[in-house]
Structure 1
Amino acid sequence: GEGGRVEVDSPNGGLNGFSSTIVDFKVTKAFFVPKMCNHCKNTPCTQVCPVGASYTTRDGVVLVDQKHCIGCGYCVQACPYGSRYLHPVTHVADKCTWCYHRITKGLKPACVAACPVKAREFGNMKNEQDPVRKAIATEPVLVLRPELLTRPNCYYRGLDKEVR
């Protein structure tokens, strides 16, 4: 159409078809906000799992026992961060595990270890001397969707409210 106007003929004799106007605007800001599992303290995903396959470890990591998951998808729908999915091959819930197999051996998650610019950090919030815990206590950090009261354990520096 002309001037950003789109017109579509309606099939089967629909009244006058329909039209809409597309407004063209300039992007003034762009953000990259990785939205992995937030390993919340108040986890909606574990609360809705009918078989207990979604659970929180004693050290606060939220995991899925894939041997017991029935693939119902309730946890996928319950996660307000969109970080869970049904695996296309195994047909069970999957998500970021903070590389649990690594952190239990004292290693950092692979994404943290591999990041060449140190955009991600990982620490022990129970250790008062941990640099990440100190940074969270002293620097301006935010969490995604705090109004949901999930108490996420993933913090962001420089996060604008508009990307939540």
Structure 2
Amino acid sequence: MDKRLSLLMFSGDYDKAMAGLILANTARDMGMEVTMFFAFWGLSLIRDPDKMTLEDKTAYEKMLDLFTPKGPEALPMSRMNFSGLGKWMLEEMMEEQDAPRLIHFLKGARKKQVKFYACKLSVDIMGFKQEEFLPETEIVEAKVYLEDALTSDIQLFI
């Protein structure tokens, strides 16, 4: 199958990240090529919590770092978060259904070689560094994503 899926991940919400990663994994299972382009809050999904640093960051960048989720497991729910209670309830319900957690879908996408692109402008504005991201992440300009999306069969914005 020579089909391609292009996902633009703008949201930093747990449930929206789940939706994007479920689609990415399913598309790869169907033999599709998949690209995920992460911008602004979506970058939280591909930051490695073990490699985050405050070194060489401005005061604003340090403050932003304090208030952004520390990796995929720390993402909040988009609705009904209730200070984390809503996310906990969802994870409990998923466990009861033997459904994989977000981190498992992320690991699956990495293993299946989904392309991870980080928006260069978003990375620069937010003060993130290449080494803070998962190793598969390539920092690219929006033009690279748009050229990829133009040749994709399906484009989705999450």
Same fold (TM over 0.5): no
TM-score (norm 2): 0.30
TM-score (norm 1): 0.29
Higher relative contact order (CA 8 A, sep 6+): 2
**More helix, by proportion:** 2
Greater C-alpha Rg: 1
